[in-house]
Amino acid sequence: MISKEEVKEILEGYNKNKLCIATLCSHSSLQIFKGAKEEGFKTLGIRVGEDVHVYDAFPLSKPDEFLHLEKFSDVDKLEEELREKNAILIPHGSLVEFVGEKIYDLAVPIMGNRQALLWESDRLKMAEWIEAAEMRMPRTLSPDNIDVPCIVKFPGAKGGKGYFTVKNTKEFDKKIAKLKISEEMLAGVLIQEYIVGVRFYPHYFYSPITSGGFRAGNGALEMLGIDRRIETNIEEIYRANSFGLNPEPSFAVVGNSEIILRESMLDKMLKIGKKTVEASEKLFGGIPGPFCVETICDEDFHFHVFEISARIVAGTNLYPQGSHYSCYIYKEPMSMARRIAREIKNAAKKNQLDKVIY
């Protein structure tokens, strides 16, 4: 992985009055470009192919400039050009997915701590992080000892695609045989206790350079929104059930919807964010910027944490004009993307860019 020192050096060579916010044209780019523009940044979209219809359709989010690639995984070919343009790259789900491991060595400043991207991509590390934060996590079971209903997750599965549920070892073996899963895939399988409850995906922003507010570690933590993912076909499966169909549930994300938490439970949600930040500081130097903790609230109001996303999540796309939480922190509409841009602006003013960018 490129060292923090090297990234700091690149940042020192940047013209701080001409910083530019760049990202791949996918995932949450509409929000990212809009938020960056609102804070006065030049914007740069990295795109594949010729298709820019989305930005013609939504012109307020059209980046000032495009850079072209044959495929997103070639982003390292743009390193020099991005540095010349004083670009700071905003990582999102597609960037993490398509650029893969190249992201760790990319010689371009990235918003947040790139160590966190490594920790979120490795299931064992993620479990260590959740444990260090002393949060409830669903049990992991071995294939020959499935004694509770479980959800089966495969490595590299994106957005829940290909997951399935099992009630016992016999059902697991039967489904695996039917799917003709390779030995390699099987070795990386995660069999996790299925938690019955309601899902909440809170969106946090952690600022190590802000004083006051709700404290976490050495900085301030803001909860800027919550979403719930819409997944096919588990979401509306009751419709099929209502006339006797019992399809296998699947969990492929296709959208997101708003959700608001009972006010008396907000304290718990804030503590989840705080513990995640504090554990990250102990384990790998912190998590400046946006992140999301994927939780399920059970009938005893216990939150079970099954994943952490150490970057902006697509659920924040619900709130480009701010949310029903951000309005209690900011007088102006504050999207997650705008908050990211604001942080970069504040850090540049205070000469502390290296605290929020790696």
Check binding of 291 to ligand AMP (CB under 6 A).
no
Token pair recorded at residue 281: 């500081």
| 303 touches 295 (CB < 8 A) | yes
Picking from 194, 148, 144, the residue whose alpha carbon sits closest to that of residue 173 is 144
Token pair recorded at residue 243: 């006339």
Check binding of 42 to ligand AMP (CB under 6 A).
no
Nearest approach in angstroms of CB 273 to ligand AMP is 17
Residue 220, amino acid = A
Strand 164-166 and strand 215-216: pairing? Answer: unpaired
Nearest approach in angstroms of CB 19 to ligand AMP is 33
3-state secondary structure of 324: coil
Check binding of 146 to ligand AMP (CB under 6 A).
no
Check binding of 307 to ligand AMP (CB under 6 A).
yes
Nearest approach in angstroms of CB 347 to ligand AMP is 30
What CA–CA distances, in Å, run from 293 to 225, 261, 310?
Answer: 12, 14, 9
Count how many residues are written for the chain. Answer: 358
Question: How many of the chain's residues bind ligand AMP (CB under 6 A)?
Answer: 17
Check binding of 229 to ligand AMP (CB under 6 A).
yes
Check binding of 199 to ligand AMP (CB under 6 A).
yes
Check binding of 75 to ligand AMP (CB under 6 A).
no
Nearest approach in angstroms of CB 97 to ligand AMP is 12
Q: Which is nearer to ligand AMP, 119 or 251 (CB)?
A: 251
One character per residue 106-145, x = contact with ligand AMP (rule: CB under 6 A):
--------------------------------x-------
User: What's the CA gap between 323 and 326, in Å, rounded?
Assistant: 5
Cα angle 94-96-98, degrees, rounded to a multiple of 5: 60
Q: Give the H/E segment covering residue 95.
A: helix 93-99
Q: Segment contacting ligand AMP (CB under 6 A): 21-29, 50-58, 191-199, 274-282?
A: 191-199
Nearest approach in angstroms of CB 141 to ligand AMP is 11
Q: Which residues pair with 169 in a beta bridge?
A: none
User: What's the CA gap between 116 and 93, in Å, rounded?
Assistant: 13
Site for ligand AMP, rule CB under 6 A? 138, 151, 153, 160, 163, 192-195, 199, 229, 231, 251, 294, 296, 306-307
